[in-house]
Amino acid sequence: QSPHKSKKLKLQDSYTLDSPFPTFLRPTPSEAREIHAILAKEHPNHAADRKKPLDSKASAGGCGNVPNVIEALIETILSQNTTARNSSGAKTNLDQKFGRNNFAAIAAAPRADVVDAIRQGGLANKKAGTIQNILNSIKEKHGEFSLQHLAATEDEKRMSDDAIMKELISYNGVGPKTASCVLLFCIGRDSFAVDTHVFRLSRMLGWVPDKADRVLAQAHLDLRVPGELKYGLHVLMVQHGRACGGCKKAGSGATCVLKAYMK
C-alpha cells in the first residue's frame, strides 16, 4: 500500500464522524440554508433539485452525472483544472476513439493514444496515466471493468457512504473531491464535494478556518452542511464561483450577492 493511499484512507477514517476543526461551528444549518436561498434566487436555472444520472452523452457535463460509476470517475478526472467545455470535448473524443465505456480498450491502448484522445482537456499525460492505472487496478481487484457494486440500491447490497469513499480513494489518482463528486452525481448520495470554487467561497464566507486546505475543508463542510442541502449548495456555489465577477478578483467593481450578505 502506497504512503499516499495510506494517508488518504487515514484521513477518511479520522473525519467520518468528527470534523478536523471540532470547535469551529460554522456554517450553522441556518447559515447554509440562507446561502442556498440567496444563490438559488441569483442563479434560478441552477437551483433545480438533484437530477437523476442520465444515460445519454448529452447529459454529461464533466461532473459525473451518468449511471456508470467508472464513466463518472473518468469524467470527473477529465474535469480537473479545466473548463466544462474542454473536459466534455475530451470525453467525447475518448468515446469516439475507443467506444463509449470500452474500458478494456482504453486500459490496453498505448498511453500516447489515450493522451491524444483527451488532449483538449489539458494535463493529458497525467490524466491518461491516472485513467489507465485506475482501470487496471479495478480489473485486478474485481476481475472486470466495473464498479457498479458501489451503486447498488438493494438493502442487502447497499454500501455506506464511507465504504464507497474508501474504495474510490483507494485508487491512485482519486482524491476525496473526485470521490465525493461520484457519490453526489452518479450514486445519488448526500456528499459535499469541495472544488476550487466551493473552497474559495467557503473561505470568503468564513465557513472554514484560514489554515484549512481543500481536503480538510471538505471533511469539515461535509459534516456541517445539512444532507438535504449538499447537492443544491454544491451546484449553486460552483455556478456562482464561475459566473460572479464581484467575488473573483480583489478590487473588482462588480457586485456579489454573497459580499452584500456579509456586510
Q: How far apart are CA 37 and CA 102, in angstroms?
A: 41
Joined grid coordinates for residue 80: 480537473
Q: Express the helix, strand and coil content of the chain in percent, nearest 5 each.
A: 60, 0, 40
Q: How far apart are CA 127 and CA 116, in angstroms?
A: 11
Residue 177 falls in the annotated catalytic set: yes
Q: How far apart are CA 115 and CA 188, in angstroms?
A: 30
Count of CA atoms in the C-beta half-sphere (13 A) of 82:
25
Which of 8, 91, 127, 177 is the catalytic position?
177
Q: Say how far residue 44 (Cα) sits from the centre of its chain.
A: 22
Of 206, 190, 262, 202, the residue nearest 237 (C-alpha): 202
Inter-CA distances, 178 with 70, 72, 211, 218, 221, Å: 12, 10, 22, 11, 16
Q: How far apart are CA 164 and CA 168, in angstroms?
A: 6
Q: How far apart are CA 191 and CA 182, in angstroms?
A: 9
Give yes or no for a contact between 27 and 207, defined as CB atoms under 8 angstroms apart. yes
Q: List active site positions.
A: 177
